[in-house]
Structure 1
Amino acid sequence: MAKITGNRDIDRPLGKDASPAKARRGGVLTAERVLVALAAIAILGTSAAISLRDRGFRVPVQVAVSEPVEPAPDAIASQPAPSPDARPQGAPSASIVRVNPDEDDSGEGVIVIRDPSAIGQHPRLAHLPDRALIEESESGPLPVREPGGRRPFDAYARAWSGTRGARIAIIIGGLGLSQTATQRAIDALRPEITLAFAPGGNSLSRWMQTARRAGHEVILQVPMEPFGYPNENPGRNTLTVGTSEDENLHRLRWALARITNYTGVMNYMGARFTADAGHMTPVMSEIGARGLMYVDDGTSARSVAEAMALQKGVPFAAADALIDPTGDRRTPVPAEILKRLDELERIARARGYALGTGSAFDETIDTVAGWAREVTARGIELVPVSAVAVDPEAR
């Protein structure tokens, strides 16, 4: 017969503990202790599940360090791109960059190790230019394709759901010209709305970084000759039909070098220039060679931009409506803006997508901001302009 060990609780008077010290040292496990242990294990398991539930794949590794802060994004943009011979053609390269170095007062920064398998930028890196997509020139840092074919259009595009439902893209342009309006647009508009910067603006690099941190996709407006030029003047370094091809390309590169981290360009004015295939061809070739998208603002029925873009393999989108026409007024009327937005909703439901453009008037920003808060409930997805572009290279 097996020997019975342990305390003989049955022989002990109620309320008396014959060996408290031994019990405290963990003699026989009681039912109460077992229940406590099981409860603790359940709590720990639940906490671990909750902490892991929202973590997606390819989460960057963040490491606190005490090394000197890296240069600001402007300094990064001015550095030359890595040599194509530094790694096999088309091979992705991991890179280590510091996030928000200018906001770190402790002397310690946060380093994010980027996953080379990701095509686009991580949201926390969206304000930092990808040096592999920059070419140094006398005009400044120009966008360029990577040797493996990756384009700025791919790298800087904002992600969207990819579903087949009705979707609308809105571009608000003229940013950088007014500091107040630019800040207002970035703060008030949903990040799905694309922001377009004028090359003649001020502090463009800083505003680009602010917009990208806020989640916006960015494009660049290029001044092109309208009918009635020079009385109607888009501004400095306008591309014109009376200028040589070399000079127009020089002016285009000046504009392209004003900011980084943008997916494409959009004409500013340009009804006369965009109607001239002879002058549009070299411009579209340059845009395509640099891996950028072209957006036609839709204000000219004579534009040959679509045919030129598809011929040159350039991602292309054309606006369906100018949402804030001013006519003879100095500013648009909110009621008219809402009518144009309603029209975009009808187009999106019928065709699957629609694109509208507007300017950074206070009335436009406020009206679009209010509309954007409600449109999702009506079954419309707001998307960046890259989500409605036709990409010949994706076919």
Structure 2
Amino acid sequence: MSDYLNNPLGKKSVAKQSFVSKIVSRLSFCLLFYLCIIGLSIYIFISNPLNGIVSEVGKNAIIREDVSDEVRQKSQSSDYVVATEKSNKDEKQKNDSTFNPKNNSVEKEEISRPVRSTQLDSLPTIEGRLLSVVPKEDLLEKKGSDSLSPKTKDMSKSIENYNSSCSKVVGPRIAIVVSGLGISQTGTQRAINLLPNNVTLAFASNGNSLNRWMQEARKKGQETIVQIPMQAYDESNNGDDPYTLKVTQSASTVLGRLRYSLGRAMGYSGVMNYRGAMFLSKKDSSEVLFKEISNRGLFFFDDGSSPRNLTKELAPKFNLPYLIADLYLDDQVDRDRIRQKLKDLEDMARISGEAIGVAVAFDESIEVISKWLQEEHVNDISVVPLSCFVKSIQPLQKE
């Protein structure tokens, strides 16, 4: 320090100037570097050399094209494109689903997801294959708050009235029942729109807006029946609801719940079980059910899901006409399996003369059944409403 202070003033100035020069040169370099970066950025922005490349083969464009291809392939394999909720709502406000009785074609769909135009275009081709069915409103009367019941208490006359509305055909006959309607609004509308009037529709008594849906189906000429929830083997006695009939309930409770469910809809011609393997295997509970259905002049349809059901043994005791399904078409919800089951149903009909198939209103089931009726169903077999199979039965002799 003492040496530095003793240096001449000139040498001090030279050292100071050298230090300042280094600082200035470094600052100049940094400033020049940042100016180059800014200039390059401005050049890229103005010239935009990537213009026309990203929009054509960029990453987003490739993803968009891949998604498009995937949706297109899914549409071809499943015969429908999933519509957004907004578009469905707008379509519903603009166009009501209508059925043209002149050409048996669906003109427009409400709420339901659109299918391939080839399916809709082919609907008129089934007019000659399928039998027409007339609404049975003139056969029914309103009784208080309960459902519409046949005007006659004589079940044999009621059966004759129902059968008189069925065209006389020669050869094998098939009846198809689509069940579980009224739960899903979209699924219910889809079934009513796409299925012809010879497919019987079964509405769950615990569904929504049953009278509105069933009235719409009857306007199209579709036959309706009502499904009653019943206890299955894997269903606990706990967890009560106002609909399910259970074996632990008293006869008065079962009857009250049954009447409540039957009173939630109008205009149906029969009653079908929903589950119920345990309930229908018990004599006491089944007798309460069958007696009430018989008193109302209805028929009972057993979905055939359980061999333990006592329908065949107990229904004749109450002079109750009954039908039992031959085949569950969609116990496996797979399109190929459903197609095979429909072929099996045809074979059954050719052997025995009649066959009944039952399905749930899954999208896959509605799609395959609709296509089968339009394109694959052969001419030697007639498709008829379920009630056309109802026959008079001889009541059991009392001991």
| Whole-angstrom CA distance in 2 between matches of 1:142 and 1:172 | 21
1:390 Cα shift? 3.3
Equivalent positions of 1:94-133 (< 5 A) are 123=134, 126=135, 133=141
Query: What SS is found at the alignment partner of 1:136?
Result: coil
1:146 Cα shift? 2.9
Please tell me whether Structure 1 or Structure 2 has the larger radius of gyration of its CA atoms: 2
For 1:285, give the aligned amino acid. Answer: K
Do 1:354 and 1:388's aligned partners in 2 also have CA atoms closer than 8 Å? no
Query: What SS is found at the alignment partner of 1:249?
Result: helix
| Whole-angstrom CA distance in 2 between matches of 1:370 and 1:180 | 19
> Which of 302, 309, 331 pairs up with 1:303?
309
| Whole-angstrom CA distance in 2 between matches of 1:334 and 1:232 | 36
Residue in 2 that maps onto 1:204: 210
Q: 1:306 to 1:234 in 2, by over 3 A?
A: farther
Q: 1:154 to 1:261 in 2, by over 3 A?
A: farther
Aligned residue pairs, count: 264
Query: What SS is found at the alignment partner of 2:144?
Result: strand
Equivalent positions of 1:1-395 (< 5 A) are 123=134, 126=135, 133-137=141-145, 140-141=146-147, 143=149, 145-146=151-152, 159-230=165-236, 236-326=242-332, 332-374=333-375, 376-392=377-393
Percent identical: 37
1:134 Cα shift? 2.3
| Whole-angstrom CA distance in 1 between matches of 2:353 and 2:242 | 38
TM-score by length of 1: 0.62
1:290 Cα shift? 0.7
Do 1:320 and 1:356's aligned partners in 2 also have CA atoms closer than 8 Å? yes
| Whole-angstrom CA distance in 2 between matches of 1:278 and 1:231 | 17
1:386 Cα shift? 1.0
For 2:305, give the aligned amino acid. Answer: T
| Whole-angstrom CA distance in 2 between matches of 1:223 and 1:390 | 25
1:188 Cα shift? 0.5
Q: Which runs of 5+ in 1 are unaligned?
A: 1-121, 327-331
For 2:327, give the aligned amino acid. Answer: A
More helix as a share of residues? 2
| Whole-angstrom CA distance in 2 between matches of 1:152 and 1:262 | 13
1:372 Cα shift? 1.0
For 2:311, give the aligned amino acid. Answer: A
1:144 Cα shift? 5.3
Q: Alpha carbon RMSD of aligned pairs, Å? A: 2.7
| Whole-angstrom CA distance in 2 between matches of 1:267 and 1:154 | 24
| Whole-angstrom CA distance in 2 between matches of 1:220 and 1:350 | 30
| Whole-angstrom CA distance in 2 between matches of 1:238 and 1:193 | 26
Do 2:174 and 2:349's aligned partners in 1 also have CA atoms closer than 8 Å? yes
Query: What SS is found at the alignment partner of 1:220?
Result: strand
TM-score by length of 2: 0.61
Q: Which runs of 5+ in 2 are unaligned?
A: 1-132
Q: 1:234 to 1:384 in 2, by over 3 A?
A: farther
Q: 1:389 to 1:152 in 2, by over 3 A?
A: closer
Q: 1:203 to 1:154 in 2, by over 3 A?
A: farther
Do 1:226 and 1:233's aligned partners in 2 also have CA atoms closer than 8 Å? no
For 1:356, give the aligned amino acid. Answer: G
